[in-house]
Structure 1
């Protein structure tokens, strides 16, 4: 049985510049086709605009307020919002709130740096 607590998972920085805590993926569990991670973005910061050739993502906001840009369409998002990001869609999220932005990132197939193409 694979169970990991968010407070015990080490953080790392992804290619897009976000701080990630990978909870479940093929690297640490029996999960093979997807991954679940928490991303944290400081006040006033943003990820580097990027896309994934293969991976589709779901962002689920758990803390804060952000501006979400997907292929040039921009919307404000907040706690409780789930955002669909299809493969090939250029996306960037900016923390526009007064607290650290936290979001869950669900990826299928699992997140891999080599599938992340930076736009800058």
Structure 2
């Protein structure tokens, strides 16, 4: 039988100098990560050649730009990002943002930075 997993026992990593991530499932074909972004944090705009991703907000409000459109996602809302779509997550609120990132296949090693001014 498999053991349950949470942020208390999952593999932890830091990204962007101030953000946290926990690998809840780290398979080559499927990745499930919980992440935390403090207020004012932002990731670099990027795309994935193969991975499709689904971002789902647990707490806070995410500002997610995808394909030139900016979305404001509240707790209980999510957004699918198809492969090849440039995107960037930001926390413009005054509280921590917690969200899930589900990727198929895994997105690590499949990331290409995109200039902020590149038009889709």
Question: For the superposition of Structure 1 and Structure 2, which TM-score range results when normalised by the shorter chain?
Answer: 0.7 to 0.9
In structure 2, the residue matched to 1:42 is: 38
Q: CA–CA distance in 2 between the matches of 1:91 and 1:6?
A: 25
Q: Which has the higher helix share?
A: 1
Question: How many correspondences in the alignment?
Answer: 113
Contact 2:61 2:75 in 1 (8 A): yes
Runs of at least 4 residues off by over 3 Å: none
Q: Give the TM-score of the pair, scaled to structure 2.
A: 0.84
Q: Give the TM-score of the pair, scaled to structure 1.
A: 0.84
SS at match of 1:6: coil
1:53 paired with 2:54, answer: no
Gaps in structure 1 of 5+ consecutive residues: 27-31
Contact 1:42 1:99 in 2 (8 A): yes
Gaps in structure 2 of 5+ consecutive residues: 116-120
Q: Cα RMSD over matched residues?
A: 1.8
In structure 2, the residue matched to 1:23 is: 24
